[in-house]
Amino acid sequence: MRSRACRRPGHGFTLVELLVVIAIIGILVGLTVPAVQRVRESAARAHCQNNLKQIALAFHSHHGALHYFPSGGWEWWSTPTYINGQPAVGAQQQAGWGYQILPYIEGTAAWKGGNATNDDDRIRAAMGTPNPMFFCPTRRGAQTVMFSFPGFFNGNQIQCALGDYGASNWELTGVVRQYLPTRIADIADGTSLTLLVSEKRLNIRFLGKVQKDDDTGYATGWDPDTIRQTEIPPAPDYTAPTGDGGRRFGSSHPSGFNAAFADGSVRPIAYSVPLSVFKALGDKSDGQVVSVSDF
């Protein structure tokens, strides 16, 4: 007769062991989540830098084709100008730099106004078509808003595609000027240390809603949507019940913002950059000597 083997009772977790396992998992999650966030931010920052690189190259392609950089457009209420159904160029073009570089960032269809047969519909197509090149993925994906104001597009409501980048500068000392285009020869301080286009600061509480510096979009004329100041300090995005970006450069990146320079290079700028240095970067011909190590 066979003897039965002794069976050991099943052994489960004690309460103490379970608590230890939960604590270890919590620690691992606590270590992993910030690491994942850093990886995501690194990828988003690289994507943003590439956007600015393509924008800077588009400026140079524009200069190569027309022998001048795009202007900042006419007024905030200005919309794309068409002459005999074709986009105007140079001083005749009332829309700003964002619209003017569209042919060089795979936006030719929007630049031409789609397949429209009248200027109003061309303007709607140009202003309402988002271009992914104009958005920093750290902050948001492509967005549009519906906007209307007396004097803008004859007071009619229109969809406006937004953007996250602004040109230098509002003070009219930078590469991008109101009304008139600039040539490379006009950049007396050298192209490698003259700011061209950078990220703009926003109140992210109102993303996707009409706010003063994020409403008429990238195709508008001279406006805080597309032009920023270099005589005031840059700052990171913020959240508040009132206020906008205040014409400042800045971004949603934690340590600083990306900037494209007039030679086509892209470099980060710290929020702590001395104001005197930032002002000098924005002025294309002030004669001030600036080093990369200064920012």
pLDDT band at 4 (very low <50, low <70, confident <90, very high): very low
Q: Quick check: 252 pLDDT over 70?
A: yes
Give CA–CA dist 64/59, Å, rounded: 9
Entry pTM: 0.87
DSSP collapsed to 3 states, the chain: CCCCCCCCCCCCCCHHHHHHHHHHHHHHHHHHHHHHHHHHHHHHHHHHHHHHHHHHHHHHHHHHHHCCCCCCCCCCCCCCCEECCEECCHHHCCCCHHHHCHHHCCCHHHHHCCCCCCHHHHHHHHHHCCCHHHCCCCCCCCCEEEECECCEHHHCCEEEECCCEEEECCCCCCCCCCCCCCCHHHCCCCHHHCEEEEEECCEHHHCCCCECCECCCCCCCCCCCCEECCCCCCCCCECCCCCCCCCCECCCCCCEEEEEECCCCEEEEECCCCHHHHHHHHCCCCCCCCCHHHC
Say yes or no to pLDDT of 112 above 60: yes
- List C-alpha distances in Å: 74 to 39, 132, 181, 220, 239: 41, 24, 11, 9, 31
Q: Cα–Cα distances in Å, from 287 out to 69, 230, 264, 284?
A: 21, 16, 20, 8
User: What are the pLDDT digits (tens) for 55-103?
Assistant: 999 999 999 999 999 999 999 999 999 999 999 999 999 999 999 999 9
pLDDT at 117: 95
183: tokens are 């040539």
The whole-angstrom distance between residue 36's C-alpha and the CA centroid of its chain comes to: 24
Mean pLDDT score of the chain: 93
pLDDT of 6 over the 50 cut: no
Q: What is the dihedral of CA 50, 51, 56, 60, to 10 degrees?
A: 100
Least confident of 29-33, 111-115, 177-181, 217-221: 29-33
Best CA proximity match to 230, nearest among 188, 274, 263, 266: 274
Name residues whose C-beta falls within 8 Å of residue 63's C-beta, 6 or more positions apart in sequence: 69, 183, 184
- Cβ-count burial of 114 within 10 angstroms (0-12 exposed, 13-18 middle, 19+ buried)? middle
pLDDT exceeds 80 at position 150: yes
More confident residue, 113 or 21: 113
| Predicted confidence (pLDDT) per residue in 117-149, tens digit | 999 999 999 999 999 999 999 999 999 999 999
